[in-house]
Amino acid sequence: MAEIHVRDLHKNYRVHVKPAGLGASVKSLFHRTYKEVQAVDGISFEIEPGEMVGFLGPNGAGKTTTLKMLSGLIYPSSGSVSVMGFVPWQRKNEYRRQFALLMGQKNQLWWDLPANESFRLHKEIYHIEDDLFKRVHGELTELLEVENLLDQPVRELSLGERMKMELIAALLHSPRVLFLDEPTIGLDVVAQTNIRHCLQQYNQERQVTILLTSHYMRDIEALCDRVLVIDHGRLVHDGLLRDITERFATHKLLQLRFQNGRMPERPEEFGEVTDLTPPRLTLRVPREQVPQCVSHLLDCYDVDDIAIEDPSIENVISALFRQTAEQASDDVVVAETMNG
Amino acid sequence: MRPRYSRILLRFWKNCLLREMTFRGHFILRVFGEVGWVFLLLVFIEVIFSKTSHVRGWSEPQYLFLMGTHMLVTSLFETLFFENCWRISDLVRKGDLDFVLVKPANTQFLLTFERIDFASLANLPVGIALCTYAAIQGGFTITFGHSVLFVLLIGTGVCMLYAMLFMFALTSVWLIRQTGLDALWFYAMSLSRYPAEIYRGFAGGTLWFVCVFVVPVLMVANLPANVMVRTFTTPFIINFIVAAAVLLILSNIALRWALRSYRSASS
Ligand SMILES: Nc1ncnc2c1ncn2[C@@H]1O[C@H](COP(=O)(O)OP(=O)(O)OP(=O)(O)O)[C@@H](O)[C@H]1O
Ligand SMILES: [Mg+2]
């Protein structure tokens, strides 16, 4: 039985279209125009217990909205969700005791008090037994190296230190399912690695299920085998991270070094030239043309060294996002011409 | 496993106390502000009663007793509930209500009791002193039964004010920006400070009727004071308690309803 089960989930927001200018604003006081934003547009997936899944997508893709529905904060427009057998938006206490939501941009700790006071409040709200609290609290503060900051008011902590405290607050009650929305946003590399490491260890020790969004590919690469890629509210990929390259990379990079300084006179005939510093040449070649291109080059020139590489995942994904964004703007143009 | 609400409550209060202690100067200033305001009101009453012996049938000691009662009610309300109601609009606008909603405990409980404003508590002893002084000066006979009823009605009044302001605060789920709570509380407090009888003349008595029988906000101080130093009728008290109970139930229904429309500000 899957831990998280999402079927055909939709969320539409009705937003008031605000016209620019004061005159138009006054008019809109009496006559409002609305448009529907399809924040999440028919998503389905399943996540098994203990899995760590990355949730990728450009800004506004609907990642946060999905996580909010999974944690029962907002109601979906349609579709069904079951997490550990619960319907999230019924907000049963048994459900809420077993998951945690961490949002990189919001903080839940008491701003003027030391983090420890907030932790003690959590202990009561989640009804954590003394022994368990002491143990988990000790483990987490040690793992994140924040023992000496526990008694300092949260407002005096740095962003990274505060994020670590937020993470502790989210993990204190030993949740079975974790929703993390950009847990490493704005942190330096050391703090990012620190948090990543903590999540990894936590997942291994307790087999918690984690669904994580991040704009840092490093996070996703380090933590998740499987990724869900979402764009404009739709799922465009559900599978292994490395399959993304297989599926979406349209080109490969060909790196060549020539002997004797004799090089192709018109290298652009073979592909897009991305770098040319004799005797080296780097070409971006459509995948299906790679074999042909390589054999041709090897036949006609003295090639000293050759490497065929996939573009980095980061590049593939940003190309993928750009491509879908162009598609979407094409759709808009089509829709507009149809209306007009 | 039920959440241990009494322990959560203690923790809330302890955290608020810790916070007050870090901002000692602010706390002391606020206490002076609260108590100073009361003395201004007393001067005002002195001025009125130097011209007349009765206001709509209330003698000076009776009036002072009403004042004291009013202070008890407002001080309790402000200590326990005002800041909590006030916060709701902020929680909604910034989306921090999210954190309340994911906690495994009753949402209304968490929203209602998270903050306690110790500075407002300063008026409680002042109110008690004023009531005592007025009772001695007026030579009122006060039985134990009346005192119990007095305390009960003050509690009822505070609950009624809470339910009203809580519901009002929830409208921020739809309006997003909601800063009218201050004004509403100011009206409720100003209206209920005076003998209810003085409102009978306005607008053919409609306002008076609504505020006395339908949403008896005028009565939150009047009724307990009447019980102690004037006359009262049992049906009237029952009406008051029922109204408070209905408002409390409505506040819970309103919360469920509001949460269905909560959009959770994006992050
Ligand atoms: N409360 C809201 N009211 C109206 N529209 C909203 C609301 N929250 C989100 N949206 C819209 O829904 C869409 C999806 O937003 P969401 O926050 O889920 O994106 P995201 O994938 O988390 O993006 P990011 O990477 O920028 O965090 C956006 O177009 C956004 O404008
Ligand atoms: Mg987001």
A57-106 tens-digit pLDDT: 888 899 999 999 999 999 999 999 999 999 999 999 999 999 999 999 89
Q: Which of A93, A107, A120 to mutate to test the interface with B (most CBs of B within 10 A)?
A: A93
Q: Is residue A175 part of a domain?
A: yes
> CA-to-CA distance for A330 and B120, rounded, in angstroms?
61
Does the pLDDT of residue B213 top 70, yes or no? Answer: no
In this structure, the number of other CB atoms found within 10 A of the CB of residue A302 comes to 12
Q: What is the CATH number of the domain that holds A153?
A: 3.40.50.300
Is residue A15 assigned to a domain? no
Count the alpha carbons within 13 Å of A202 in the hemisphere toward its beta carbon.
29
A63 lines ligand 1 (CB under 6 A): yes
Query: For residue A340, what pLDDT is reported?
Result: 36
Domain that holds residue A235: 4-9+42-245
d(CA A100, CA B99): 10
User: Could you report the per-residue pLDDT of B216-241, keeping only the tens digit for each?
Assistant: 888 888 888 888 888 888 888 998 99
Q: Has residue A103 been placed in a domain?
A: yes
Count CB neighbours of B98 within 10 A: 21
Interface check for A73 against chain B (CB to CB < 8 A): the answer is: yes
**Residue type at position A204:** Q
Q: Write the pLDDT tens digit of every residue in B125-163.
A: 999 999 999 999 888 888 899 999 999 999 999 999 999
A99, A233: one domain: yes
Quote the mean pLDDT of chain A: 88
Identify whether A317 is part of a domain: no
Residues 102-131 of B with CB under 8 A from A: 102-105, 107, 110
Q: Label residue A127 exposed, middle or buried (CB < 10 Å: 0-12, 13-18, 19+).
A: middle
Q: How far is the C-alpha of A133 from the C-alpha of A141, rounded, in Å?
A: 12
What is the mean pLDDT of the segment spanning A156-179? 94
Q: Are residues A287 and A188 both part of a single domain?
A: no
Q: Does the pLDDT at position B29 exceed 70?
A: yes
Tally the domains of chain A: 2
CATH number of A277's domain: 3.30.70
Is A88 within the bounds of a domain? yes
Q: Is A19 part of a structural domain of the chain?
A: no
The number of the ligand 1 atom at minimal distance from the alpha carbon of A61 is 21
Task: Please state the rounded mean pLDDT for residues B51-79.
Answer: 89
**Domain check: are A71 and A187 in the same one?**
yes
Domain boundaries, chain B: 3-261
Can you tell me the mean pLDDT for A155-163?
92
Answer yes or no: is pLDDT of A34 > 60. yes
User: Cα separations (Å) of A219 from A95, A185, A237, B154?
Assistant: 27, 10, 18, 57
Mean pLDDT, residues A189-194: 88
Interval A299-322 mean pLDDT: 81
- B37-to-A165, B47, B121, B129, B242 alpha-carbon distances in Å: 42, 16, 14, 16, 33
Would you say A205 and A155 are in contact if contact means Cβ atoms under 8 Å apart? no
Q: Which residue has the higher pLDDT, B175 or B212?
A: B175
Pairing of strands A303-309, A209-213: unpaired
Average pLDDT over residues A145-163: 93
**Six token digits for residue B218:** 């005028």
pLDDT of residue A335: 45
A338 falls in which pLDDT band (50, 70, 90)? very low
pLDDT exceeds 70 at position A168: yes
Contacts of A62 (CB under 8 A, 6+ apart): A11, A39, A40, A41, A43, A230, A232, A233
With an 8 Å Cβ cutoff, is B101 touching chain A?
yes
For residues A71 and A195, membership in a common domain is answered with yes
3-class DSSP state for residue B104? coil
Residues A175 and A270 in one domain: no
Q: Is the CB of A104 under 6 A from ligand 1?
A: no
Residues A73 and A136 in one domain: yes
Q: Is residue A67 part of a domain?
A: yes
Query: Are residues A138 and A238 part of one domain?
Result: yes
Average pLDDT score, chain B? 88
Q: Hey, how many other C-beta atoms are within 10 angstroms of the C-beta on B40?
A: 8
The beta-carbon neighbor of A113 closest among B4, B18, B267 is B18
Q: What is the pLDDT of residue B214?
A: 66
